[in-house]
Amino acid sequence: MKYSIITVNYNNRDGLRATIESVVNQTYRDYEFIVIDGGSTDGSTDVLKEFDDKITYWVSEPDKGIYNGMNKGIAKATGDYLNFMNSGDCFYDNQVLRHVAAYAYNTDFIVGRDYHYSEQLQRGHASIQPPRTTMMHFFMATLDHQSSFIRRELFVGSPYDESHRLVSDWIFYVEKIVGEGHQVQFIPDIICKREEGGLSEQQREHNRKEINNYLHKFLPSGVYADYATLSKLDKTSLYRLFDILDNEKKRRWLIKAIKIINKIL
The CATH number given to whatever domain includes residue 8 is: 3.90.550.10
User: Do 159 and 259 fall into the same domain?
Assistant: no
CA distance linking residue 126 with residue 189, whole number of Å: 10
Q: Return the exposure string of 161-175: e unless at least 16 CB atoms fall within 10 Å of the residue's CB, then b.
A: ebebebbbbbbbbbb
pLDDT digits (tens, 9 = 90+) for 201-243: 567 788 888 999 999 999 999 999 999 999 999 888 988 998 8
Q: Is 226 part of any domain? A: no
Q: Is 93 part of any domain? A: yes
Q: Which of 102, 128, 95 is nearest to 114 (CA)?
A: 128
Q: What is the pLDDT of residue 122?
A: 72
- For 249-263, what is the mean pLDDT? 92
pLDDT of 44 strictly over 70 = yes
Q: Return the exposure string of 74-94: e unless at least 16 CB atoms fall within 10 Å of the residue's CB, then b.
A: beebebebbbbbbbbbbbbbe
pLDDT digits (tens, 9 = 90+) for 132-168: 888 999 999 899 889 999 999 999 999 999 998 889 9
Q: What is the pLDDT of residue 128?
A: 86
Question: Which amino acid, residue 138?
Answer: F
Q: In which band, very low, low, confident or very high, does the pLDDT at 199 lie, cut at 50, 70 and 90?
A: low
User: Do 200 and 131 fall into the same domain?
Assistant: yes
Q: What is the number of structural domains in the chain?
A: 2
Average pLDDT along the chain: 92
Report the share of the chain in percent with pLDDT over 70: 97
Q: Which of 144, 155, 183 is nearest to 75 (CA)?
A: 155
CA distance linking residue 67 with residue 17, whole number of Å: 21
Q: What is the pLDDT of residue 131?
A: 84
Q: Is 134 part of any domain? A: yes
> Could you tell me the residue range of the domain that residue 145 belongs to?
3-219
| Residue 19 CB neighbours (<10 A) | 28
Q: Which residues, 6+ apart, have CB-to-CB distance to 89 below 8 Å?
A: 15, 19, 146, 192, 193, 194, 195
- CB–CB of 67/162 below 8 Å? yes
Q: What is the pLDDT of residue 165?
A: 84
- For 50-54, what is the mean pLDDT? 97
Q: Is 224 part of any domain? A: no
Phi, psi of 26 (to 5 degrees): -65, 135
User: Do 170 and 239 fall into the same domain?
Assistant: no
Query: What is the signed CA dihedral for 245, 248, 251, 257, rounded to 10 degrees?
Result: -170
User: Do 181 and 246 fall into the same domain?
Assistant: no
